Amino acid sequence: MKFEELLKLPQYSLPDAEKEQILLDGLNELDAHHRRHCPEYDRLVSVLWPNFLKAQTLQELPYLAVGLFKSHRLCSIPQDKIFKTLTSSGTTGQQVSQIFLDVETAQRQSAALSRIMTHVLGPNRLPMILIESRALLQDRTRFNARAAGVLGMMTFGRDHFHALDENMELDEKGLHAFLEKVAGKPFFIFGFTFMIWQYLFQRLPERGVDLSQGILVHGGGWKKLQEMAVSNSEFKRRFREKTGLSKIYNFYGLVEQVGSIYVEGKNGYLYAPNYADVIVRDPLTWQPAPMGAPGVLQVLSLLPLSYPGHSVLTEDLGIIHGIDDSSGGRHGKYFSVLGRIPKAELRGCSDIHASQVGG
Amino acid sequence: MKVQQLVPRAEEVELEEILARLRDVSGGTLAPFAPEILSFCAEFSRALFRDPEAKRFPELQALAFWMRKAELERLRREFERLKTDRTLLVPRGLVFHVPPANVDTIFMYSWLVSVMAGNRNILRISPRAAQQTTIICRVFNQCLETADKSMRNNTVMIRYGHEQEITAAISAVADVRVIWGGDASVNSIRSVHISPHCKELAFPDRYSLSVMRASKYLGLDEAARRDVAAQFYNDMYWFDQMACSSPRLLIWCGGLEQSSSASAIFLRDLHDEVLRRGYALDASGSMNKFTFLSRAILDQPVISARQLDHQLTVAQLENIRNLDRDHCGGGFLFQYYAEGLAALAECVARKDQTLTYFGFDPPEMAAFAQSLNGRGIDRIVPMGKALTFNRYWDGYDLLTEMIRYVYVE
């Protein structure tokens, strides 16, 4: 099935076996495509999977360690075809991932994202609150994954309201004005999980604010909230109590696979969209882990044409909970993300690890 | 400035007081190899052997073994031989040791040589230090209770992070500064002044390798092969292969066919040994290793790679001329087939520290070292002794580094 046809199918409608066949054909093609056009990818596959020709199952597909996008320039298009370069939002001193996009890949990403978002938001563009400051988008020197993510999401809303000022202070007045204007009709809230908690939820006035008509979509990881002992269910409960907001969707995604995000269903689990999938691998053997067992997440996506990111071994731990049998009516695998692989310290003479995987 | 003292007693102490105590010579100072020092160290060794907690750590037992009385006596005799008719040997004074955060025992060796030479010592213990360090401090303090009073003012261990003002205050009064712990630590501590007469010993990042003669290896019977695997295991896996002397590159000398059949048997035996000893990496170590392997494939002349479970990854190299000395540890071995030692000599770099060998004679290795003429490699020892510390380390003779010669005519 062609990618364009796949886009037309209702989201989360494919039973796993049918989906596996579609993905397998597409990913085998992508594997061959990147082997032809990205010498680094070809070299890695030829050394790590010496006899590999074609995968018979998704699990047989070669995968790249996500850290390679930080240390190497992995690109399957000529320099003059690079339309946009995405970088991950690392802190100072950290190496960042570099992702090279051509026009076609960028288009596939936004088409795909649109199919996921309309599933959550409905067909119409809604008034939108961004838990970000305008400054993020104006500063082009920091055009990183965060800014790209925000820009990408803005297309699914209208009458955008940036709820934070440059000092990350909540614009309470503006928020009330926005809510008055939407007058009880649905609206869309987007932001990064930690920022929503820290800069929106924790700054809300004591008596609360009525966000009951809102649809909140948030992602970016739970690390900082875990430190504050706030789980996903706690996050939802507190929001519901204080604001009446009940439509809350967490998502999981990587800058290495923009457009292919895994959005939470009603039961709190994450679901792979039609053109993507996950595998959980035992970190010691790299063999697929049994269902229900935690392991390292590998993410598969049909989107990346311009860089070899169609099969990426992440540094996140996850669990697949089931296939096709979820209560929410969605097909395919459903899973949860447990967070980053905890960093252990190897011993040794050197204070700094020679080749620690960059954070 | 208050600091957390661990030895001689666990308590918060003013740094100025500690430094004043260490520089106070009114009660007299200890001569090199004074009986008080010898008996304290011998007692410390016995206590480590006896201590139920210390018994669980082979590296602490190795330390105890190295500090036992007979060994100290041997060191004393070597020391005596350094004297001449016109030179006598005296301590340098106060030695400031900055050990690495995550090697648990190596710093005790430089302390031992220093204290034997009659120096007073102050050691920085990292807040990240492992359990082994806590055990060392506890046992040390226990031994001090019954030791001669002079020993109680000899060694202080304090715990602090990267507070430069503490490092600066100690550096200002030290006569020797010893920095362990990799290039970054060496550079950062070097930026703190020492007094003009102070000397500095630095132990930056190093790389170590191993060489085996394939024909000799193939001539061994099964039991002897298993023993080779056990020796190699000790060299490679202690300290998670992150000690500066842990082998990271294995070179087989011999014909291609010989080397590859020797390697096949050896790696199988080594893998068995790894399983037998129950070495295990966690998910982060395993991920780190997979990423390192992938990067090595892109940046180094790797022709094939084998991942024998998570414990042992082997990457075969086509040549080793410009091999990057970066490493991930945790059971990763580069392997290369060379015709002979001459081919290896071309590729030795300044960063190379320890070469362990099997199937060669000491004279062959000496000739090899001579041919390098100082381009690299500071230690050449039989397989199994990579981590066996002695006074010669990183190109220094620690014993003579810790003393001053006084010329008397």
Distance CA B166, CA B15 (A): 8
Q: How close does chain A come to B293, measured CA to CA in Å? A: 9
Q: How close does chain A come to B157, measured CA to CA in Å? A: 19
Contact B102 A72 (CB under 8 A): no
Instruction: Select the residue of B239, B240, B326 nearest A355 (Cβ to Cβ).
Output: B326
Instruction: Give pLDDT, residue B299.
Output: 97
Instruction: Give pLDDT, residue A355.
Output: 33
- B window 257-286, beta carbon within 8 A of A: 280-286
Distance CA B6, CA A206 (A): 48
Instruction: Select the residue of A44, A347, A351 nearest B181 (Cβ to Cβ).
Output: A351
Least confident of A185-194, A343-352, B179-188, B232-241: A343-352
Q: Give the domain extent around B368.
A: 207-382
Residues B31 and B132 in one domain: yes
Nearest alpha-carbon partner for A328 in A288, A287, A279, A271: A271
Residue A25 gets the label, from left (phi > 0), alpha (psi -120 to 50) or beta, of alpha
Residues B244 and B293 in one domain: yes
How do residues B108-134 score in pLDDT, each as one tens digit? 888 999 999 999 999 999 888 878 889
- DSSP per-residue codes, B316-361: EES--TT-------SSEEEEEEESSHHHHHTT--TTEEEEEEES--
Contact A50 B286 (CB under 8 A): no
Distance CA A30, CA A49 (A): 16
Structure tokens at B113: 């040589």
The domain that holds B108 is classified in CATH as 3.40.605.10
H helix or E strand, kind and range, residue A42: helix A39-48
Residue B407, C-beta contacts closer than 8 angstroms, at least 6 positions apart: B86, B87
- Report if residue B334 sits inside a domain: yes
Residues B75 and B146 in one domain: yes
Instruction: Select the residue of A296, A315, A351 nearest B182 (Cβ to Cβ).
Output: A351
Provide ipTM, 2 decimals. Answer: 0.92
H helix or E strand, kind and range, residue A296: strand A295-301
Residues B231 and B320 in one domain: yes
Contact A344 B244 (CB under 8 A): no
Instruction: Select the residue of B205, B303, B304 nearest A350 (Cβ to Cβ).
Output: B205
Q: Does B182 touch chain A (CB under 8 A)?
A: yes
- Report if residue B191 sits inside a domain: yes
Residue type, position B37, single letter: I
Residue type, position A102, single letter: D
Residues B88 and B228 in one domain: no
Residues B138 and B226 in one domain: no
Contact A48 B205 (CB under 8 A): no
- Report if residue B43 sits inside a domain: yes
Total count of residues recorded for chain A: 359
Instruction: Select the residue of B102, B184, B287 nearest A341 (Cβ to Cβ).
Output: B287
Distance CA A8, CA A14 (A): 12
- Report if residue B192 sits inside a domain: yes
- Report if residue B140 sits inside a domain: yes
Q: Does B110 touch chain A (CB under 8 A)?
A: no
pLDDT by residue for chain A (359 residues), tens only, comes to 788 888 889 889 899 999 999 999 999 999 999 999 999 999 999 999 999 999 999 999 999 999 999 999 999 999 999 998 888 865 556 788 999 999 999 999 999 999 999 999 999 999 999 998 887 777 655 456 777 788 889 999 999 999 998 888 999 999 999 999 998 899 999 999 999 999 999 998 888 899 999 999 999 888 889 888 899 999 999 999 999 999 999 999 998 998 899 999 888 899 999 999 999 999 999 999 999 999 999 999 999 999 999 999 999 999 999 999 877 778 889 999 998 898 766 656 555 433 333 32
Residues B277 and B160 in one domain: no
Q: Does B324 touch chain A (CB under 8 A)?
A: no
Q: What are phi and psi of A180, to 5 degrees?
A: -65, -40
Instruction: Give pLDDT, residue A352.
Output: 41
Nearest alpha-carbon partner for B312 in B390, B262, B250, B354: B250
- Report if residue B115 sits inside a domain: yes
Distances from the Cα of B328 to the Cα of A267, A319, B232, B250, B294, angstroms: 40, 27, 18, 15, 12
Q: What 3-state class would DSSP assign to A301?
A: strand
Q: How close does chain A come to B65, measured CA to CA in Å? A: 21
Distances from the Cα of B357 to the Cα of B212, B213, B354, angstroms: 6, 8, 10
Point out which residues pair with A295 in neighbouring strands.
A318
Nearest alpha-carbon partner for A95 in B66, B334, B344, B295: B295
Residues B225 and B158 in one domain: no
- Report if residue B93 sits inside a domain: yes
Instruction: Give pLDDT, residue B295.
Output: 97
Residue B56 has pLDDT above 60, yes or no: yes
Count of the separate structural domains present in chain B: 2
Contact B181 A349 (CB under 8 A): yes
Residue in the block written with tokens 């690299």: B376
Q: Does B181 touch chain A (CB under 8 A)?
A: yes
How do residues B313-339 score in pLDDT, each as one tens digit? 999 999 999 999 999 999 999 999 999
Contact B330 A65 (CB under 8 A): no
Instruction: Give pLDDT, residue A349.
Output: 58
Residues B315 and B365 in one domain: yes
Q: What 3-state class would DSSP assign to A358?
A: coil
- Report if residue B388 sits inside a domain: no
- Report the percentage of chain B scoring pLDDT > 70: 99
Instruction: Give pLDDT, residue A342.
Output: 87
Residues B189 and B295 in one domain: no
Q: Tell me the pLDDT band of B100, cut-offs 50, 70 and 90.
A: confident
Contact A349 B244 (CB under 8 A): yes
Instruction: Give pLDDT, residue A150.
Output: 85
**Contact residues on chain B for A356, CB-CB shorter than 8 A:** 288
Q: Tell me the pLDDT band of B359, cut-offs 50, 70 and 90.
A: very high
Instruction: Select the residue of B205, B287, B292 nearest A296 (Cβ to Cβ).
Output: B287
Instruction: Give pLDDT, residue B162.
Output: 81
H and E: helices and strands count for chain B? 16, 18
Angle at A62 between CA A58 and CA A65, to 5 degrees: 120
Residues B127 and B246 in one domain: no
Residues B122 and B49 in one domain: yes
Residue type, position A265, single letter: G
Nearest alpha-carbon partner for B177 in B105, B94, B108: B94
The mean pLDDT value for B260-268 works out to: 97
The domain that holds B322 is classified in CATH as 3.40.309.10
What are the structural domains, with CATH classification, of chain A?
3-340 (3.40.50.12780)
